[in-house]
Amino acid sequence: MRRIETQILNSLIESEKSFWELLDENKFTVKEFVAALNDLFRGGLINAREDKIYLTEKGLRQVNKTHLEFKGKICDKCEGKRIIFNGKFKEIMEDFTRITKNRPLPNANFFQGYMREQDVISRVALMHHYNDLAGKSLILIGDDDLLSVALALTDLPSRIFVLDIDVRLGEHIKGICKEYGLNIEFQQYDVSNPLPKELLSAFDVFSSEPLETLSGLKAFISRGVACLKENGVGYFGLSTAEASHRKWRAVEKMLLQMNCVITDIIRDFSRYRTLYETVNYEMFTKRLSFPVSGNPGIYWYKSSLFRFEVLGEPKPIIKPDKSIAIKYIDRRDDVTNPLLYSKY
């Protein structure tokens, strides 16, 4: 039996679970998860009733109960993030939540969606722990999480520069800056275009949540690296929901090629909603062989946090003065993009 199927069965020995609870525990792509569930259902190992998935008699015979006595759980204090924050960060968390309440709603054309407020602040706290904040110049490529606002509220960085394709975001950030006296520079920019020359080798730290097609990852990370000074530092998120291990490996290869060393991979650091007023990233449930009811509010979509450092000179694999064509949908890995279902 494959790892993914074993994981599902092992989880179901503990107790029956809803589809969303199982999805929340899943460590593989949603596409692989849906396929595995359908296989287990068709094979008669699992069944579904009243919103719960459970092991059948046949399923029960496949699994070994001994491992139930052992509980190795992700830390409930830091949620497996390694970092916790206190003091002024708590205040900033409150301010950030209040200030960003009226953020622009996600646009599916840009595959937008924003992480929880506490995940943004945890990321800022981690940056601070690594001395990547105080007195540093930061560039963000894409910022629908509004990380720039949280950074500006600390007043620690020397400069915060946001590049985003979405003009609405620039307007919104400008409004926040005016209202709260913050200092954030914004420039509308599509990563497929050449990088504005004045941004080259100009920043200490880069941060992003890239589009997860291979061309998207290549463009976002390569542009980010090109913006870094010697020995600069980068942070970016990569999901397991949309990015297969094959793609993770390609990203890691890219980073090493660009003269970087990966210093941290913190799994499932950030969580995202998948249902917004404007966008629904849960249409893939149509592909299940059994009925599933709506998500009761589980943040199953997670992104792992990569941190890297450049060793000496950054070497972006896409030359900063070159364009690159970007695909918005990866039909091989992804089943969550609503545009995949626009014909239905």
Give least dist CB 306 to its own copies, A: 9
Give least dist CB 108 to its own copies, A: 29
- Going by C-alpha positions, the residue among 248, 230, 228, 231 that lies closest to residue 240 is 248
Give least dist CB 97 to its own copies, A: 17
Decide whether 66 or 342 has the Cβ nearer to its own copies: 66
Decide whether 129 or 174 has the Cβ nearer to its own copies: 129
How far is it, in rounded angstroms, from Cα 341 to Cα 249?
28
Decide whether 128 or 159 has the Cβ nearer to its own copies: 128
- Going by C-alpha positions, the residue among 207, 205, 320, 307 that lies closest to residue 252 is 307
Decide whether 78 or 108 has the Cβ nearer to its own copies: 78
Give me 265's structure tokens: 């991979």
Give least dist CB 8 to its own copies, A: 10
Binding site for its own copies (CB under 8 A): 3, 6-7, 10, 27, 64, 66-67, 69-78, 80-89, 124-131, 133-135, 154-156, 231, 245-246, 248-249, 252-253, 256, 260-267, 309, 311
Q: Which residues pair with 260 in a beta bridge?
A: 310
Angle at 276 between CA 272 and CA 277, to 5 degrees: 165
Give least dist CB 30 to its own copies, A: 17
Decide whether 130 or 276 has the Cβ nearer to its own copies: 130
- Going by C-alpha positions, the residue among 64, 229, 253, 264 that lies closest to residue 139 is 229
Give least dist CB 232 to its own copies, A: 11
> Would you say how long the chain is, in residues?
344
How far is it, in rounded angstroms, from Cα 35 to Cα 24?
16
Decide whether 25 or 321 has the Cβ nearer to its own copies: 25
Beta carbons within 8 Å of 155's beta carbon, 6+ residues apart: none
Give least dist CB 245 to its own copies, A: 5
How many whole angstroms from its chain centre is CA 52?
27
- Going by C-alpha positions, the residue among 233, 235, 204, 230 that lies closest to residue 141 is 235
Decide whether 50 or 69 has the Cβ nearer to its own copies: 69
Q: How far is CA 316 from CA 11, 113, 244, 255, 264, in A?
A: 42, 27, 23, 9, 20
CB–CB of 137/233 below 8 Å?
Answer: no
